[in-house]
Amino acid sequence: MTARARITGIGRYLPPKVVTNDDLAARIDTSDEWITQRTGIKERRWVEHPTTTSDLALEASTEALESAGVGPGDLDMVVLATLSPDHEFPGTACFLQAKLDVPAGVPAMDVRQQCTGFVYASSVADQFLRTGFARRILVVGAEVHSKGLDVSDEGRDVSVLFGDGAGAVVMEATEVADPSADPHLLSTHLHADGRGAEDLWLPAPGMAYDRFMSHDQVSAGDVYPKMNGRSVYVNAVKRMSEAVVETLEANAAPIEAVDLFVFHQANLRINEAVSERLGIPPEKVFNTIDRFANTTAATIPIGLYEAVQQGALQPGMLVAVAAFGSGFTWGSMLLRW
Ligand code: UT7
């Protein structure tokens, strides 16, 4: 029997500071009505300095390890997805490794796939577990957006969308005797199209310029994320729908067989459009965007965690996950929980 991956522990961490739509409307030209109608977001969590991405990752990872009943010394690998690293280099997985006290020598890598980061990171872990390279991997999605947003009238189209947070799972190699009952990751599917790279990106700093960072770039606001909202929206609906179909077809599973859909949380309207397109009843789609907004690589593990807490996700259920984001990148996976 070949080894498969299985989630044995899950954790999440949201910083305590709640920022409501009204809080933002007090600072910039926006309103609770606009944000709620266009996105479904009511509030988000933002860190307070000196909290960093690896700090959020540490909290989520500690809980995930506890729930798996293992310690940092039991890990064979750390894979961390983020678009908001603590530093340009080394990767945030290394900072997390030190803070969590994962033993020296254990490999730690970053995945830079933005909103699809957790699906990519899970797929990376899945491959290593299937081949026997590792037996137990910590997979993390963590983001601090708030420190890098343009919270001014000019940046309002982007800044109202994002929140800070982290989610983590422990994935272990497992033998699957009965695929219809034994918990495991059935398959992962990854895609990208770099032609959309500049539709959602952070132009500067970067080695594309004469100097990594200039005062002019700071003055021009190039150090803030830029988005073509319409293009992201249209592509997200198309690609996430395709990705769901792909993972179902790969496993010969009819859409009715899926008990719960945990989608990336970019915009409630995107998830409603995907559900409508595929004929998924709204009660099967688990959303957290109203409370936590878009936490990029962290939305999927936070969603899985919240679904478990609320009893929406029970052992034995079939869960379909799909995400889309900057890159463009998109992907899906199917899990027997
Ligand atoms: O993981 C990927 C992350 N990003 C996304 O998923 C974003 C995908 N795109 C979207 O969700 C939508 O495009 C948005 C929610 C960002 C925008 O919704 P929209 O219906 O496409 O609005 P729009 O960009 O066409 O803007 C409509 C109006 C504009 O005013 P005018 O030109 O009609 O006078 C904007 O200036 O809304 C204005 N606007 C705002 N008003 C109040 C843009 N941002 C805001 C804001 N508050 N925060």
115 tagged catalytic: yes
Report d(CA 259, CA 180) in Å as an integer: 13
Of 157, 265, 289, the one to substitute when testing ligand 1's pocket (max ligand atoms within 8 A of C-beta) is 157
What average pLDDT does the chain have? Answer: 98
Same fold across 4-174 and 184-336:
yes
Of 267, 271, 299, the one to substitute when testing ligand 1's pocket (max ligand atoms within 8 A of C-beta) is 267
pLDDT attached to residue 312: 98
Token pair belonging to 220: 């021009």
Token pair belonging to 3: 């080894």
In Å, how far are 34, 126, 153 from 37, measured between CA atoms? 5, 38, 19
The domain over range 184-336 is classified in CATH as 3.40.47.10: yes
Å from CA of 156 to ligand 1 middle: 8
Three-state DSSP at 146 gives helix
Which CATH entry fits the domain spanning 4-174: 3.40.50.300, 3.60.150.10, 3.30.390.50, 3.40.47.10?
3.40.47.10
User: Residue 2: which pLDDT band, with cuts at 50, 70 and 90?
Assistant: confident
Å from CA of 26 to ligand 1 middle: 18
Is 79's pLDDT higher than 90? yes
Is 1's pLDDT higher than 80? no
94 tagged catalytic: no
Å from CA of 36 to ligand 1 middle: 11
Is 242's pLDDT higher than 90? yes
Question: Could you tell me the pTM of the whole model?
Answer: 0.98
CB proximity list for 49: less than 8 A, separation 6 or greater: 147
pLDDT tens-place string over residues 259-283 = 999 999 999 999 999 999 999 999 9
CB atoms inside a 10 Å sphere around CB 180 = 9
Would you list the domain boundaries of the chain? 4-174, 184-336
> What is the DSSP secondary-structure string of 214-251?
-HHHHHHTTTS-EE-HHHHHHHHHHHHHHHHHHHHHHT
> Are the C-beta atoms of residues 1 and 176 closer than 8 Å to each other?
yes
